[in-house]
Amino acid sequence: MAPVEVVWLVAALGLVALVVAWHFRRGASLLSGWAERNGYQVVHSEYRYFFRGPFFWTTSNGQAVYRVTVADQAGNARSGWVRCGGWLLGLLSDHVEARWDC
């Protein structure tokens, strides 16, 4: 492999790593902002790669889905699913949607 090819490969891998890191940071940021705006404290959150609960068939690759447990200001716990980002713009959108367990 020529030195120029190695440089391009390293640059491409670096760019992929930056995009992946941004995806996770942006998703976590949207989740925490949503929780704060709605008076919740996130007790536990788990990023879901494949099984996305009620969002399974309607989530694009650019969105992030979390399984969450939150506590409200009275200390009541609630569990459900939170999808961050819009369908078209992914995490470039500030849209956040929650679906609670029954």
Domain boundaries, the chain: 3-100
pLDDT at 102 over 90: no
With beta carbons less than 8 A apart as the criterion, state whether 83 and 68 touch: no
Which pLDDT does position 4 carry in this prediction?
86
pTM here is 0.90
Which pLDDT does position 2 carry in this prediction?
86
**Residue 54 contacts by C-beta under 8 Å, 6 or more apart in sequence?**
81, 99
Q: Using 50, 70 and 90 to split pLDDT, how confident is the model at 75?
A: very high
Nearest partner of 77 among 43, 32, 46, 30, judged by Cα: 43
pLDDT at 1 over 80: no
CA distance 59 to 61: 7
Which pLDDT does position 96 carry in this prediction?
98
Q: In the predicted model, what is the mean pLDDT of residues 86-95? A: 96
Which pLDDT does position 53 carry in this prediction?
96
